[in-house]
């Protein structure tokens, strides 16, 4: 198609004339406008949807006939209609935890929050108006836990077993991370990973990831397509990032298939009712468990129903979400924010006659102190509000600057050139899954992957037993299942055991040890040890639960070898539920791994808790496409010649053509642009 001589002519002609528009260049002011519209539309959708929250969790459900009526005899003041006149807009848990994350990213001048930053931020700002997984995570923080232990420890600290793997919380608090990485779903998932895993595991985490990808792809929707095709494209692209084994994948596939097979695109109630039958009424017969009206599953489904049947029409989407049932404000708020990001302020205002000229525009004011503590007051002279959507969008845009630069794109004074990648027909499911941090983590685990390949992992300890009732578990096999960080997304029995304990020993205790043995050799780059809880007198009847200076052994060629493994973070008796990866100096092939050492605590009471012991293969690199085709550290004209020799699909549209070449040329010439910025 191209030759070296031809490409030189192409570059010279394009430099002197009008080059084709790069497919992944964004106007900075336009995107800030979209971010502002996202916050506004999400707040509007939140407070519209909240009118039906929790009021229909079983048949008979609402239908379109209930709109603009009051269907609640017990609540005569509630009418199902759009909430458009709020001034200021009040914070709710659908918007205020994202707001806290925006503050933390700005405060720490980062795109990746650490576990300590997340924990300290929650303790400082998130102390009320939280429920279920959010509340358990916050309680775990008070016990000393850091994310992601705040999610996987929930079954160990609360009566609602399996809470973090099934509840809605993460999918209503993290979607905005996608907006901070426009057109860069992998970067968005990396940013959102720890915030998602602050409260979620399993398929609940996948639902949150799905929404993050939707927001990341808002700028990539082909607006020339019919609206229903735009919605289908978004769902299909986000679905690639979720493993087929996940309940979230099952839900996305079911909802999309039912929508596509429905001859009446106005009959959204059909799909909602079928979701009810499959995942609630007949859940057990279909291999699922229904927990509550605020679980992840059914509410994930209603969010997708609102998006698909809403057909990119904001009022219709919000109306369907509000009427859909269960925890109806959450999916409604998420899809409202998504469409705000697609439409921008003019599109959002044009969606409602009440917001069109000559009527007053919607309020831009936001009151986050209603639910969150200790945040800066950006409107000190306004007694009723503390921020505006415009100012929030401006702070978001500064973070977008940083994300694009870190990801290999270019930042200008008034535009951005996104790095190669995105989504489209050229993005395979395998490539998308490799972009998911939770998939990459699961893929490293011998405890998870070996049984899938027909092998087995077996757990043992030299001191079997347990401390007194309530201070650990006797169930030893749990430590080799990988269950607590198993992101295959399987439906999990709410009574699953999550940790085990050694027996309390004498005042001069012997060494305690946990071992996992594999039926066939596995590659070991690190050994992961996950603790259970710690117990300290006088608050507890016993003291113990942790190792003092443990050693890591690997079983190689019939003999135990003590390694010089380096812990990723020190074990601390004051921090329970720690997940520590002990990195080996070099990878080895082994058939067993072991952790051993003295148990901490008062003499006569010492024991050790363990939730997991696992052999991890080497980390899987995040796949990235780059303008630096020859891998010399920069984008130069030489990369054009390399592209000519072997054309690459840089835009993931499934073809390598002139648009990719124009895109690459734009990147190479970017430093010469008058729009270049030092930002």
- Judged by average pLDDT, the poorest of 72-86, 364-378, 507-521 is 507-521
The pLDDT, as a whole number, for residue 148 is 94
Q: Which tokens in the block code for residue 678? A: 């030092």
pLDDT score of 357 more than 70: yes
Instruction: With a cut of 60, say whether residue 91 has pLDDT above it.
Output: yes
Question: How many separate helices (H) and strands (E) can be counted in the chain?
Answer: 23, 15
For residues 186 and 172, what is the distance between their CA atoms, to the nearest angstrom? 19
Residues 622 and 434: beta-carbon distance below 8 Å: yes
The per-residue DSSP string of 407-471 comes to TT-EEBSSEEEPPS---STT--HHHHHHT-HHHHHHHHBHHHHHHHTT--EEEEESS-S--STTS
Give the mean pLDDT of 268-280. Answer: 98
Q: In the CATH hierarchy, which fold is given to the domain comprising 25-69+91-417?
A: ADP-ribosylglycohydrolase fold (1.10.4080)
Average pLDDT over residues 367-383: 98
Q: Answer whether 504's CB lies under 8 Å from 607's CB.
A: yes
SS3 582: strand
CA-to-CA distance for 200 and 149, rounded, in angstroms? 10
Question: Which residues, listed in sequence order, are joined to residue 560 by a DSSP beta bridge?
Answer: 555
**pLDDT given for residue 468 in this prediction:** 57
d(C-alpha 179, C-alpha 640), whole Å = 31
Residue 502 C-beta-side C-alpha neighbours within 13 Å: 30
pLDDT tens digits, 600-650 = 877 766 788 888 999 999 999 887 889 999 999 999 999 999 999 999 999
Residue 479 has pLDDT above 60, yes or no: yes
Residue 305: band (very low, low, confident or very high) from pLDDT cuts 50, 70, 90: very high
pTM as predicted:
0.94
Q: Do domains 25-69+91-417 and 444-616 have the same CATH topology?
A: no
Residue 616 near residue 444 (C-beta atoms within 8 A):
yes
- Which pLDDT score, from 0 to 100, does residue 15 have? 38
Alpha helices in 221-360 (DSSP H): 227-239, 247-261, 268-276, 296-310, 314-323, 328-350
Q: Using alpha carbons, select from 28, 12, 39, 64 the residue that is nearest to residue 417.
A: 28
Domain boundaries, the chain: 4-24+623-672, 25-69+91-417, 444-616
Between the alpha carbon of residue 286 and those of residues 279, 282, 485, 579, the distances in Å are: 8, 7, 24, 34
What's the pLDDT at 473? 65
Tell me what pLDDT residue 16 has.
37
The alpha carbon dihedral of 278, 280, 285, 289 has a sign of positive
Q: Judge whether residue 675 has pLDDT over 70.
A: no
Q: What is the pLDDT of residues 137-157, one digit of tens each?
A: 999 999 899 999 999 888 777
The residues facing 512 across adjacent strands are 597
Cβ atoms of 543 and 534 within 8 Å: the answer is no
Distance CA 510, CA 528 (A): 23
Query: What pLDDT score was predicted for residue 517?
Result: 98
Stretch 471-488: mean pLDDT = 81
Cα torsion for 22, 408, 184, 247, to the nearest 10°? Answer: 150
The whole-number pLDDT of residue 299 equals 98
Joined tokens for residue 183: 């057109």
Give the rounded percent of residues in the chain with a pLDDT score beyond 90.
78
pLDDT band at 463 (very low <50, low <70, confident <90, very high): confident
Say which range, 18-32, 293-307, 396-410, 622-636, has the weakest mean pLDDT: 18-32
**Residue 5 has which token pair?**
């001589």
Average pLDDT of span 650-674: 89
What pLDDT was estimated at residue 3?
Answer: 45
Distances (CA, A) of 596 to 240, 514, 574, 582, 612: 41, 7, 19, 13, 14
In the block, residue with structure tokens 């050139």: 417
Residue 120 in this model has a pLDDT that exceeds 60: yes
Is the pLDDT at 472 greater than 70, yes or no? Answer: no
Top-confidence residue, 601 or 255: 255
Output the pLDDT for position 543. 78
Per-residue pLDDT band at 478 (split at 50, 70, 90):
confident
3-state secondary structure 320-375: HHHHCCCCHHHHHHHHHHHHHHHHHHHHHHHCCHHHCCCCCCCCCEEECCCCCCCC
Q: Which token pair is 308?
A: 């698909």
Write down the pLDDT at residue 208: 98
> Strand pairing of 609-610 and 559-562?
unpaired
DSSP state of 545: B
Q: Tens of pLDDT along 14-66? A: 333 333 334 699 999 999 999 999 999 999 999 999 999 999 999 999 999 99
Residue 485's H or E segment, with its range, is: none
**Residue carrying the six token digits 């004498």:** 506
State the chain's mean pLDDT as an integer: 91
Question: What CA–CA distances, in Å, run from 94 to 43, 172, 233?
Answer: 8, 5, 25
Helix/strand/coil percent split, the chain, to 5: 45, 15, 45
For residues 128 and 107, give the distance between their C-alpha atoms in angstroms, rounded to a whole number: 22
Burial of 658 (0-12, 13-18, 19+ CB in 10 A): middle
Which CATH fold would you assign to the domain 444-616? Jelly Rolls (2.60.120)
């Amino acid at each position: 198609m191209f030759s070296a001589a031809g490409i030189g002519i192409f570059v010279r002609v394009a430099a002197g004339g009008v080059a084709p528009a790069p497919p992944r260049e964004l106007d900075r002011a336009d995107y800030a406008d979209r971010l502002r519209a996202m916050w506004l539309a999400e707040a509007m959708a939140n407070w519209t949807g909240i009118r039906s929250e929790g009021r229909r969790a079983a048949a008979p459900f609402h239908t379109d006939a209930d709109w603009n009526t009051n269907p609640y005899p017990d609540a005569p003041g509630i009418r199902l209609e759009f909430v458009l006149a709020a001034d200021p807009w009040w914070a709710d848990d659908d918007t205020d935890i994202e707001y806290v994350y925006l503050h933390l990213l700005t405060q720490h001048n980062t795109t990746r929050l650490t576990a300590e930053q997340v924990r300290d931020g929650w303790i400082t700002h998130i102390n009320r108006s939280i429920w279920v997984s959010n509340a358990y995570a916050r309680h775990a923080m008070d016990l000393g836990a850091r994310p992601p232990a705040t999610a996987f420890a929930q079954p160990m600290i609360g009566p609602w077993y399996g809470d973090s793997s099934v509840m809605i919380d993460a999918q209503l608090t993290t979607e905005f991370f996608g907006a901070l990485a426009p057109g860069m779903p992998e970067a968005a998932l990396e940013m959102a990973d720890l915030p998602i895993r602050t409260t979620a595991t399993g398929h609940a985490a996948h639902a949150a990831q799905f929404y993050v990808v939707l927001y990341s792809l808002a700028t990539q929707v082909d607006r020339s397509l019919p609206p229903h095709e735009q919605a289908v494209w978004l769902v299909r692209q986000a679905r690639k990032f979720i493993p087929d084994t996940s309940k979230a994948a099952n839900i996305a596939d079911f909802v999309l298939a039912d929508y596509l097979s429905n001859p009446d695109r106005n009959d959204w109630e059909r799909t909602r009712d079928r979701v009810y039958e499959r995942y609630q009424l007949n859940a057990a017969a279909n291999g699922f468990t229904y927990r509550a009206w605020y679980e992840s599953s059914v509410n994930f489904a209603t969010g997708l129903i609102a998006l698909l049947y809403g057909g990119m029409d904001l009022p219709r989407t919000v109306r369907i979400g509000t009427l859909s049932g269960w925890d109806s404000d959450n999916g409604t708020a998420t899809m409202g924010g998504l469409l705000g990001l697609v439409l921008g302020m003019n599109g959002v205002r044009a969606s409602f006659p009440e917001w069109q000229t000559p009527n007053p525009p919607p309020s831009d004011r936001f009151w986050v102190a209603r639910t969150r503590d200790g945040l800066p007051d950006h409107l000190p002279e306004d007694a009723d509000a503390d921020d505006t959507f415009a100012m929030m969008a401006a702070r978001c845009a500064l973070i977008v600057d940083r994300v694009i630069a870190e990801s290999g794109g270019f930042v200008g004074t008034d535009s951005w050139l996104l790095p190669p990648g995105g989504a489209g027909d050229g993005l395979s499911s395998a490539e998308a899954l490799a972009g998911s941090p939770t998939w990459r983590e699961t893929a490293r685990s011998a405890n998870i992957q070996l049984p899938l390949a027909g092998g087995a992992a077996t757990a043992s300890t030299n001191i079997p037993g347990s401390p007194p009732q309530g201070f650990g578990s006797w169930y030893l096999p749990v430590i080799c299942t990988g269950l607590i960080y198993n992101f295959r997304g399987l439906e999990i029995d709410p009574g699953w055991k999550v940790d085990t304990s050694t027996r309390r020993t004498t005042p001069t205790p012997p060494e305690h040890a946990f071992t996992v043995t594999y039926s066939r050799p596995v590659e070991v780059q690190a050994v992961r040890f996950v603790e259970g809880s710690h117990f300290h007198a006088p608050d507890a009847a016993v003291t113990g639960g942790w190792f003092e200076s443990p050693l890591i052994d690997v079983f190689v060629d019939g003999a135990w070898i003590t390694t010089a493994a380096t812990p990723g973070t020190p074990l601390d008796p004051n921090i329970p539920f720690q997940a520590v990866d002990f990195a080996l100096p070099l990878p080895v092939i082994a058939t067993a791994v072991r952790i051993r050492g003295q148990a901490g605590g008062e003499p006569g009471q010492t024991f050790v808790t363990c939730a997991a012991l696992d052999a991890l293969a080497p980390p899987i690199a995040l796949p990235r496409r780059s303008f630096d085709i020859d891998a010399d550290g920069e984008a130069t004209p030489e990369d054009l010649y390399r592209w000519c020799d072997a054309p690459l699909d840089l835009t993931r549209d499934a073809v390598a053509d002139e648009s990719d070449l124009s895109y690459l040329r734009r990147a190479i010439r970017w430093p010469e642009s008058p729009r270049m910025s030092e930002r």
